[in-house]
Structure 1
Amino acid sequence: MKAKVESARFNDLPAGGRRSELAGREHVMKLLLLAAVAVMPEQIDLFRAGVDGYHTYRIPSVLVSSKGVVLAFAEGRKTGRGDAGDIDVVLKRSTDGGKTWLPQQVVWDDGPNTCGNPCAVVDRQTGTIWLLLTHNLGSDTEAQIASGKSKGSRTVWVTRSDDEGATWARPREITHDVKLPNWSWYATGPGIGIQTTKGRLVIPCDNKVAGSGLLQSHVIYSDDHGATWKLGGVVGPDCNESQIVELQDGSLLLNIRSYRKGNRRLVALSRDGGLSFETPREDAALIDPICQASVIALPGKPGEYLFANPASTRREKLTIRWSGDNCRTWTASRVIHSGPSAYSCLAVLPDGTVGCLYERGEKSPYEFIAWARLPVEWVRQGD
């Protein structure tokens, strides 16, 4: 009855009064929305250095399965922070959108050797989760492998899960399909791959040409739902770790860690599904401390993307940026950790919020791998 009386009173107002009343209500709603998005994102330290037998956790990768299970991968480094030695690929899963997490799993442990660089992708048509990985002898360092002085070589592998990450197939080597003979170093991802609108699975990677110091980014792809993998386009020089997104027109954009002067990200466009890329160009808006970063498309929001990296010339100030024009400009941003921070990975969660798995600490970026859940609108309303 009260609602009817208020409605009658509203309808009895002169036209100007009704407009004023509506404007007032809209203003209140805007204030409520701004108050809601002003709240800082929920954050926990998902992987902590020194826990579960690992000295350090690094190299985050996060993926949401076709059934909504959230998978958070990392490297578990047993003896130190370095990139060589006894390193396993570990995983934590969440069945409630990243609110709580199941106990830690080990996806790949090859004794004293190095298993790492997780880069996951889900096939939306089959539901299979593919995880691309690299391997080398634990006694070989990156410098030795890159210079050709190592005992072994850097190899490329793939494993799969058909049960939302609960179990994994034995890793299968694909080195000869995706690595050229003159490439010494090789890394998959790290981060995530994509499945294009046409169904192609695409994984961003990087390599070093033996004896030359040439750094390149490249992609590998599968057109048969992960059964076989092929080498795609190569981008260089001075290019390293990268992430890839599909733009609104179907082209692919590679966002690249750069070793060129200026501390800016590089981007390269592919108009043939990743078989080749145009010459990379600098994105002047994306300051970067020569570090891995993350970029994702927002499903159901054409032209909208998120980008995360340490927005500084040092590994600090982990920032998420929003673009509403297919990554041409980045018009809003939020800092989620002002202190030391490094690698990151973004994912859209089942409820539409965004998850960010990233390296952070108080004195070093490698003390924790943190998990943040945040509303997209919170980023959109940022500076």
Structure 2
Amino acid sequence: MTDATVPFRAGREGHASYRIPAVVATRSGRLLAFCEGRVDSARDHGHIRIVLKRSADGGRTWGPLQVVADNGGDLAGNPAPVVLDTGRVLLVHVRSAATASEDALLRGKVKDAAGRRVWVQHSDDEGATWSAPREITRQVKKTGWRWYATTPGHAIQLSSGRVVVPGNHTLPPTGSDNGTEAKYNSGHCLLSDDRGENWYLGYVDENTNGYVNVNETTAAELPDGRVYFNTRNDSPSPGNRADAHSGDGGRTLHTPFRPQAGLDGPVCQGSVLQLRDPDVLLFSGPAFPGGRALMTVRASADAGRTWRPVHTVDGLPAAYSDLVRIDARTIGLLYETGDFGAYERIVFRRVPVPGTT
């Protein structure tokens, strides 16, 4: 059996709903579990804050809820944390007006100042306190992009020192805008070569042919130095996921996004994590093709070409998730779930590393 705790439960601690989990481990082993604390409702817009709970015992217990990013009564969301080689924790996220719904953004009805903007802040004491947020929108968002989101889930720092934050955006429609042509999902990544001081765009994938439309993306550095990107695919290609590889640290894709039918499941976000000992790439996400349920961890021994299930949590509703390494024998899975719906609580589960049981 695996150990499970519930750091976030809808309707508790001042928030109607908790969504969009992300988790990292600090250099000392402390776990930081982030998510969106949606104050008034479960909607994707409105008064939303980034909240955090910390654990000093591998996720068995959690400290009090902390508000890390609060945009007044507006939105601060899509937490993309990463622990740097210096020990600093970076948190990249997006902000927008509370009224900036996805539909309004896609239709071009939101002014730039109220639209999705990109910010970064940091902690040098393992999440206890945080710097003031600093805006980096002009460095990483092109003029004309409408919807914009980071990850969801953790970001990564490569062995070269470069920070890679996957992102997604939408383009204006090419024809008349009646609101139906506007949602062409596209992908990109944010890069920093100086530990978060300056940022620029890496690859930009704007394939709007309807076959693979890159959406919420997660990344891992493979043992050979390539960056593996795995994305939610909202188009009717085989399966609902696609993946790609970069040989230059995310600047370009040397193999473009193509369908990855080996990861069966619904249209939903997922998470990847590369382990070095053993050498295995992990993926978490719901595995029931007919809907968001059946949270499952799968493994690949060939850089994401093929996958096999290694741990199924249960058959309950489940949606977004994130993975973290706890110790030599244990990984952590932070995921949305519930008895009758996928968004009742965010659970943290300790799962054995494949091959160690």
TM-score, normalised to structure 1, is: 0.86
Partner amino acid for 1:177? Q
Q: How does 1:243-282 map to 2 (within 5 A)?
A: 243-261=218-236, 262-277=238-253, 278-282=255-259
Q: Which residue of the partner structure matches residue 210 of structure 2?
A: none
Q: How does 1:7-18 map to 2 (within 5 A)?
A: none
On the 8 A contact 1:185/1:208 being kept in 2, the answer is yes
Q: Find the partner of 1:310 among 283, 286, 291.
A: 286
On the 8 A contact 1:337/1:360 being kept in 2, the answer is no
Q: Which residue of the partner structure matches residue 10 of structure 1?
A: none
Q: Which residue of the partner structure matches residue 168 of structure 2?
A: 206
Deviations 1:312-334 (A, max 9, x none): 22100000012222222213332
On the 8 A contact 1:88/1:109 being kept in 2, the answer is yes
Q: How does 1:315-330 map to 2 (within 5 A)?
A: 315-330=292-307
Partner amino acid for 1:257? R
Deviations 1:83-122 (A, max 9, x none): 0100010000011221211111000112210110001111
Q: Is 1:219 equivalent to 2:181 in the alignment?
A: no
Hey, which bits of structure 1, 4+ residues long, moved more than 6 A? none
Q: Which residue of the partner structure matches residue 127 of structure 2?
A: 165
Q: Which residue of the partner structure matches residue 142 of structure 2?
A: 180
Deviations 1:104-152 (A, max 9, x none): 100011221011000111111x111100100000012111112210242
Q: Which runs of 5+ in 1 are unaligned?
A: 1-39
Aligned equivalents of 1:147, 1:324: Cα separation in 2: 43
Q: Which residue of the partner structure matches residue 178 of structure 2?
A: none
How far has the Cα of 1:248 moved from its partner?
2.1
On the 8 A contact 2:316/2:337 being kept in 1, the answer is yes
Q: How does 1:235-250 map to 2 (within 5 A)?
A: 235-237=205-207, 238-250=213-225
Q: Which residue of the partner structure matches residue 139 of structure 1?
A: 99
Q: How does 1:75-154 map to 2 (within 5 A)?
A: 75-124=36-85, 126-151=86-111, 152-154=114-116
Aligned equivalents of 1:139, 1:326: Cα separation in 2: 41
Q: Which residue of the partner structure matches residue 157 of structure 2?
A: 195
Aligned equivalents of 1:363, 1:255: Cα separation in 2: 28
Aligned equivalents of 1:236, 1:42: Cα separation in 2: 41
Aligned equivalents of 1:194, 1:139: Cα separation in 2: 31
On the 8 A contact 2:167/2:187 being kept in 1, the answer is yes
How far has the Cα of 1:207 moved from its partner?
0.5
Partner amino acid for 1:265? R
Partner amino acid for 1:221? L
Partner amino acid for 2:106? A
Q: Is 1:283 equivalent to 2:260 in the alignment?
A: yes
TM-score, normalised to structure 2, is: 0.92
Judging by fraction of residues, say which structure has more helix: 1
On the 8 A contact 1:89/1:108 being kept in 2, the answer is yes
Deviations 1:196-238 (A, max 9, x none): 1111110111001123432111111110111111111022431
Q: Is 1:334 equivalent to 2:311 in the alignment?
A: yes
Aligned equivalents of 1:175, 1:89: Cα separation in 2: 18
What SS does structure 2 have at the residue aligned with 1:177?
Answer: helix
On the 8 A contact 1:294/1:345 being kept in 2, the answer is yes
Q: Which residue of the partner structure matches residue 176 of structure 2?
A: none
Compare CA radii of gyration and give the structure with the larger one: 1
Aligned equivalents of 2:276, 2:245: Cα separation in 1: 20
Q: Which runs of 5+ in 2 are unaligned?
A: 174-181, 208-212
Deviations 1:293-343 (A, max 9, x none): 0010113333x1111001122100000012222222213332113111000
Aligned equivalents of 2:215, 2:275: Cα separation in 1: 25
How far has the Cα of 1:289 moved from its partner?
1.1
Partner amino acid for 1:230? Y
Q: Which residue of the partner structure matches residue 72 of structure 1?
A: 33
How far has the Cα of 1:351 moved from its partner?
5.0
Q: Which residue of the partner structure matches residue 15 of structure 2?
A: 54
Aligned equivalents of 1:300, 1:160: Cα separation in 2: 29
How far has the Cα of 1:377 moved from its partner?
3.3
Partner amino acid for 2:219? I
Partner amino acid for 2:38? R
What SS does structure 2 have at the residue aligned with 1:279?
Answer: strand
Partner amino acid for 1:85? G
Partner amino acid for 2:300? S
Comparing 260-269 with 68-77, greater Cα deviation is found at 260-269
Partner amino acid for 2:150? T
Q: Find the partner of 1:295 among 268, 272, 275.
A: 272
On the 8 A contact 2:145/2:172 being kept in 1, the answer is yes
On the 8 A contact 1:97/1:351 being kept in 2, the answer is no
Q: Which residue of the partner structure matches residue 44 of structure 1?
A: 5
What SS does structure 1 have at the residue aligned with 2:225?
Answer: coil
On the 8 A contact 1:323/1:332 being kept in 2, the answer is no
Deviations 1:253-273 (A, max 9, x none): 110000121433100111111
Aligned equivalents of 1:194, 1:110: Cα separation in 2: 25
Partner amino acid for 1:157? W
Q: Tell me the number of residue pairs that the alignment of Structure 1 and Structure 2 aligns.
A: 339
